[in-house]
């Protein structure tokens, strides 16, 4: 089996003059990532992304393609020749992919794969997303978050409040992080998520939640916005019927407002956890 060190793998950009090599690599190789969206001819679509060939000495042994979105990037494609598909080579290649992500100041990478390669991404330190679009579930696709730093993910337990008005979700503006979030916050030692949520909402919105109107909705796993690049939010989300309850925001909160997904994406900085909530609700409503 071939063993490849970091110094032996070089990268060079995919462009119009060399992208025809993709088809040969795909025929002979193993695709560890599957595109996260529908496009036309995939070999041509790579030109719309940030793509690189991986080369060992004079042989092209694989390629990958990144698709930027906001402050992160999708690892849409990653293919290695089958003779170079050992875990050590995969780790070397992904270290280089992460280095590119770090150089381009991405907060994280999101890689789509299929069940047979689940162990590969787990060994790479990937964190499985708990919520994926329904069409991806049908296709047995999995989404893994990858850090762009040489540090493992660290879990941050939080609790979030989900209040709905039609297809809109109530969000609170954080003055510190300058972004709109689900109301809620971190879980302190000795608290469960519901206790933490009741405490946080009292502090943020001067609202006393009634436990009989709270119901667990889902757990969201997503990179924590505004934190270090290896912090993974584990958020228990609770649905709440706010009725006519009065809200008075605390000093650190700049206001509360209802957003649809389209409104949120168009006008605000997309926070990964909030996007996952919308994704969950969209799947649930279908």
Q: Enter the pTM of the model.
A: 0.85
> Measured between alpha carbons, how far is 179 from 166 in angstroms, rounded to an integer?
22
Length of the chain: 286
The answer to whether 54 and 62 are in contact (CB under 8 A) is yes
Q: What percent of the chain has pLDDT over 90?
A: 64
Average pLDDT over residues 49-75: 90
> Measured between alpha carbons, how far is 122 from 126 in angstroms, rounded to an integer?
5
* DSSP state at residue 8: G
Evaluate if residue 132 carries a pLDDT over 80: no
The answer to whether 253 and 173 are in contact (CB under 8 A) is yes
* 71-128: pLDDT as tens digits: 899 998 899 998 887 888 899 999 999 999 999 999 999 998 988 999 999 999 999 9
Using alpha carbons, select from 162, 172, 167 the residue that is nearest to residue 206. Answer: 172
* 166-197: pLDDT as tens digits: 999 999 999 988 999 999 999 999 999 999 99
CA distances from 240 to 48, 179, 237 (A): 42, 22, 10
At residue 22, the 3 state secondary structure works out as helix
Evaluate if residue 160 carries a pLDDT over 60: yes
Q: Is the dihedral of CA 194, 196, 199, 204 positive or negative?
A: negative
More confident residue, 26 or 189: 189
Q: Is the dihedral of CA 286, 271, 149, 68 positive or negative?
A: positive
> Measured between alpha carbons, how far is 279 from 276 in angstroms, rounded to an integer?
5
């Amino acid at each position: 089996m071939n063993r490849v060190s970091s110094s032996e793998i070089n990268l060079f950009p995919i462009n119009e003059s060399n992208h025809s090599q993709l088809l040969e690599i795909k025929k002979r190789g193993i695709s560890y990532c599957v595109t996260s969206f529908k496009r036309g001819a995939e070999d041509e679509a790579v030109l719309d992304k940030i793509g690189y060939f991986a080369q060992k000495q004079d042989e092209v042994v694989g390629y990958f393609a990144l698709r930027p979105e906001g402050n992160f990037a999708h690892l849409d494609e990653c293919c290695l020749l089958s003779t170079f598909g050992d875990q050590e080579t995969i780790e070397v290649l992904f270290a280089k992919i992460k280095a590119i992500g770090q150089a381009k100041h991405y907060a994280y990478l999101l890689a789509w794969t299929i069940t047979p390669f689940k162990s590969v991404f787990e060994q790479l330190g990937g964190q499985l997303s708990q919520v994926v679009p329904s069409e991806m579930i049908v296709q047995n696709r999995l989404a893994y978050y990858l850090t762009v730093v040489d540090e493992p993910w660290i879990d941050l337990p939080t609790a979030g409040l989900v209040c709905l008005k039609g297809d809109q979700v109530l969000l609170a503006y954080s003055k510190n992080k300058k972004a709109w979030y689900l109301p809620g916050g971190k879980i302190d030692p000795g608290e469960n998520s519901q206790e933490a949520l009741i405490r946080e909402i009292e502090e943020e919105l001067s609202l006393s939640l009634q436990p009989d109107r709270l119901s667990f909705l889902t757990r969201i796993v997503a990179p924590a916005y505004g934190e270090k690049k290896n912090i993974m939010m584990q958020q228990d989300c609770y649905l709440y019927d706010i009725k006519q309850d009065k809200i008075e925001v605390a000093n650190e909160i700049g206001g509360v407002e209802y957003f649809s997904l389209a409104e949120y994406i168009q006008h605000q900085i997309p926070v990964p956890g909030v996007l996952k909530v919308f994704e969950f609700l969209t799947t649930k409503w279908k």
